[in-house]
Amino acid sequence: MPASQLRIAVPNKGALSEAASAMLREAGYNQRRDAKELILDDPDNSAQFVFLRPRDIALYVGSGTLDVGITGRDLLLDSRAPADEILPLGFARSTFRFAGRPGVASSVADLQGRRIATSYSGLLGKHLAEHGVTADVVHLDGAVETAVALGIADVIADVVETGTTLRAAGLEVFGEAIMRSEATLVRRAGAPADPAVDVLVRRLQGVLVARQYVMVDYDCPRDIVERACAVAPGLESPTVSPTANPDWVAVRVMVRKAATNQVMDELYDLGARAILVTSIHACRL
Ligand SMILES: Nc1ncnc2c1ncn2[C@@H]1O[C@H](COP(=O)(O)OP(=O)(O)OP(=O)(O)O)[C@@H](O)[C@H]1O
Ligand SMILES: O=P(O)(O)OC[C@H]1O[C@H](OP(=O)(O)OP(=O)(O)O)[C@H](O)[C@@H]1O
Ligand SMILES: [Mg+2]
């Protein structure tokens, strides 16, 4: 009997779209080549991809119309749809923050009775309520930074990554970040276990690990192998193999990409030699 088809919502445009498709492609799924395609079948993987506005994805998934979806954590919370994050995906990282002209306010408490422009009214409303602040929320579809210059808002609450857009509009962030966001895989709250979803999650986890880790091989004198393994303990345990020389062993271990050079330096200082780094193409842990 063929496995039941998993229906997956993927952002069709915007900041999440390309990176989401790239990640699915790396996980072995077929992805559209033409940005006009709305639905794409991937029979080899018993999957169907439905390309939707990222803002709508939590709604489709929360209602159970589609099994899982990729969206932003901020969009998920803003939607108030009954969907949960099941795997943070590590791209489209941003913060959601207040900003205004220099000196206009320094924290959420200063916003009582002020006009705040945003595309995330749900998220902002919840934050204001949590702080006991009543303000006039001006909902806009985008280009929120311009609202202050045009005089329809005193401050904004918007997505900030590098801060370039804010600077261009003469605005500065103030107060604590309202939230930190990234792309995430979402599923209907309370949905029952589904082996097809587990396969998707394991494949995406494989991509995340392959992106975050490298494989390090090195030779080291037998008498320092314990100390070398303490420098790079790997995820579970390094593989230690004999070499033709009985005084030396060969070690293979996964290392966080960001720590690669530091680990190589420490291993070298201990006496390890022939330290080789290779990238991981895919994995299942
Ligand atoms: N510059 C950015 N850097 C990182 N993440 C971003 C950036 N801009 C938007 N995002 C994230 O992308 C998601 C918003 O998706 P959306 O499709 O609205 O992106 P967009 O680029 O604003 O597209 P559009 O302007 O066409 O609506 C949110 O999760 C948001 O946090
Ligand atoms: O801090 P930065 O690196 O400048 O990135 C943040 C900006 O990127 C997004 O805008 P987008 O280009 O999607 O325009 P929009 O506001 O019309 O959605 C977001 O809404 C911010 O405006
Ligand atoms: Mg946008």
What percentage of the chain reaches a pLDDT higher than 90?
Answer: 97
Which pair of tokens denotes residue 77?
A: 């919370």
Show Cβ contacts of residue 237 under 8 Å, excluding neighbours closer than 6 positions.
229
Residues in the chain: 285
Query: Is the pLDDT assigned to residue 4 strictly greater than 90?
Result: no
CA of 4 to the centre of ligand 3 (A): 35
| 5-15 per-position pLDDT tens digit | 999 999 999 99
pLDDT score for 285? 83
Q: Does the Cβ of 169 fall within 6 Å of ligand 2? A: no
Query: Is the pLDDT assigned to residue 119 strictly greater than 70?
Result: yes
Q: Does the Cβ of 78 fall within 6 Å of ligand 1? A: no
Q: Does the Cβ of 158 fall within 6 Å of ligand 2? A: yes
pLDDT score for 228? 98
Average pLDDT over residues 128-154: 98
| 254-276 per-position pLDDT tens digit | 999 999 999 999 999 999 999 99
Query: Is the pLDDT assigned to residue 67 strictly greater than 70?
Result: yes
Residue to probe by mutation, ligand 2, list 53, 94, 98, 165, most atoms within 8 Å of CB: 165
Q: Whose CA is nearest to atom 6 of ligand 2?
A: 160
Residue to probe by mutation, ligand 1, list 94, 165, 178, most atoms within 8 Å of CB: 94
| 156-204 per-position pLDDT tens digit | 999 999 999 999 999 999 999 999 999 999 999 999 999 999 999 999 9
Burial of 20 (0-12, 13-18, 19+ CB in 10 A): buried
Query: Is the pLDDT assigned to residue 3 strictly greater than 90?
Result: no
Instruction: Say if residues 250 and 197 touch (Cβ distance below 8 Å).
Output: no
Domains assigned to the chain: 6-91+182-192 (3.40.190.10), 94-180 (3.40.190.10), 213-279 (3.30.70.120)
| 48-57 per-position pLDDT tens digit | 999 999 999 9
Give the integer Cα–Cα distance in Å for 165 and 70: 25
Residue to probe by mutation, ligand 2, list 74, 159, 160, most atoms within 8 Å of CB: 159
Q: Does the Cβ of 145 fall within 6 Å of ligand 1? A: no
Place of tokens 């960001």: 258
Query: Is the pLDDT assigned to residue 2 strictly greater than 70?
Result: no
| 16-41 per-position pLDDT tens digit | 999 999 999 999 999 999 999 999 99
Average pLDDT over residues 213-238: 96
Q: Does the Cβ of 89 fall within 6 Å of ligand 1? A: no
CA of 80 to the centre of ligand 3 (A): 19
CA of 17 to the centre of ligand 3 (A): 12
pTM for the model:
0.92
Average pLDDT over residues 117-129: 98
